[in-house]
Amino acid sequence: MTGSLFKGNFWTSDILSTIGYDSIVQHLNNGRKNCKEFEDFLKERASIEEKYGKDLLSLARKKPCGQSETNTLKRALEVFKQQVDNVAQSHIYLAQTLREEARKMEEFREKQKSQQKKTELIMDAAHKQKSLQFKKTMDAKKNYEQKCRDKDEAEQAVHRSANMANPKQQEKLFVKLATSKTAVEDSDKLYMLQINTLDRVRNEWQSEHIKACEVFEAQECERINFFRNALWLHMNQLSQQCVTSDEMYEKVRKSLEMCSIEKDIEYFVNQRGTGQTPPAPIMYENFYCPQKNAAPGKATGPNLARRGPLPNPKSLPDPKKPHQNEDIDCMLITSM
């Protein structure tokens, strides 16, 4: 804290001017405005964090994400959903923290406003008294100067009437001169009284101005320090949020490291396996000549591509022997 810059650099040569004081007050008002802007920023950031947290929370709890997975990958997904839930909760907590910081900024701003108002009331009264006394002093000065001019004119009139023969006229001029001298003396006393009063009022105003400068400078130092620390804390809160989120995501990474492809495959086989024996080949069965001992996997059905010439019968069939016809039909079918 400097402690002396304000009171040494906001004076003016014009006794009625308040430009230096007004400059300081305007600066303090702008400072409180800046605090209000940051306060509003924190509130809006809190709303954003809260909405994001709630949306993320809804996503983690309501949206399916690999719900039919099994074994180690299922456990990793459960950790993932839980940590996303935790991240969402941390953003909601951050929103509450930011609102608390905004409330502290508002309290600080209102406290400074109240302190400044007290000093301003004292200074407004000092400015008003100084201006009023200055006006009285200037009026007394004008009256004194006018009385002096009246006395000078009376003296000149007496000198011009030195050779006048009318004694009554000369007496009248002497009376006017004496009266004007008395008026000059009275106006001079009043003028001096007003000058002394103005000097006292000016000293009082000057003392109050110095006090106000010291109070305002202390307030501004406090405000800058508070604002700087609040912004620093805000950055720490955001950094901590990133660290917290990363710690939660690291737990998901750790759970994924425990995920075993082999175990998950083995688990699935053990839980859902249906047997180790494949189905047997489907054998060809001739409708006319069932073959009981056909070779497995070899179809004995007709094959047009490998069909040989029709064999000549050794003897003509005897119509009286029906069984002979059946044998020939069977031979024809198997040769096809």
Question: Which amino acid does the sequence have at 58?
Answer: S
Q: How far, rounded to the nearest angstrom, does the alpha carbon of residue 14 sit from its chain's CA centroid?
A: 46
* Residue 205 pLDDT: 96
Q: What are phi and psi of 165, to 5 degrees?
A: -85, -15
Residue bearing tokens 């997975």:
69
The Cα-based distances of 300 to 77, 184, 331 in angstroms read 56, 156, 13
When pLDDT is averaged across residues 262-283 and rounded to a whole number, the result is 90
76 and 252 Cβ atoms separated by less than 8 Å: yes
Question: Which amino acid does the sequence have at 269?
Answer: V
CA gap 318, 315 in Å, rounded? 9
Residue 256 above 80 pLDDT? yes
* Residue 172 pLDDT: 85
* Residue 122 pLDDT: 96
Residue 302 above 70 pLDDT? no
The pair of structure tokens assigned to 247 is 């710690």
Residue bearing tokens 């959903």:
81
Question: Which amino acid does the sequence have at 96?
Answer: Q
Q: What is the pLDDT of residues 75-118, one digit of tens each?
A: 998 999 999 999 999 999 999 999 999 999 999 999 999 999 99
Q: What are phi and psi of 9, to 5 degrees?
A: -135, 15
Q: What is the pLDDT of residues 18-58, one digit of tens each?
A: 999 999 999 999 999 999 999 999 999 999 999 999 999 99
Q: What are phi and psi of 16, to 5 degrees?
A: -90, -10
CA gap 179, 150 in Å, rounded? 10
CA dihedral 72, 74, 76, 78 (to 10 degrees): -140
240 and 28 Cβ atoms separated by less than 8 Å: no
* Residue 332 pLDDT: 43
In a 13 Å sphere around the CA of 117, the CA atoms on its Cβ side amount to: 7
34 and 224 Cβ atoms separated by less than 8 Å: no
Residue bearing tokens 């009437």:
161
CA gap 204, 165 in Å, rounded? 59
CA dihedral 66, 67, 70, 74 (to 10 degrees): 70
CA gap 105, 111 in Å, rounded? 10
Q: Is 27 helix (H, G, I), strand (E, B) or coil?
A: helix
The pair of structure tokens assigned to 81 is 């959903």
Q: What is the pLDDT of residues 168-182, one digit of tens each?
A: 787 888 888 899 999
* Residue 67 pLDDT: 79
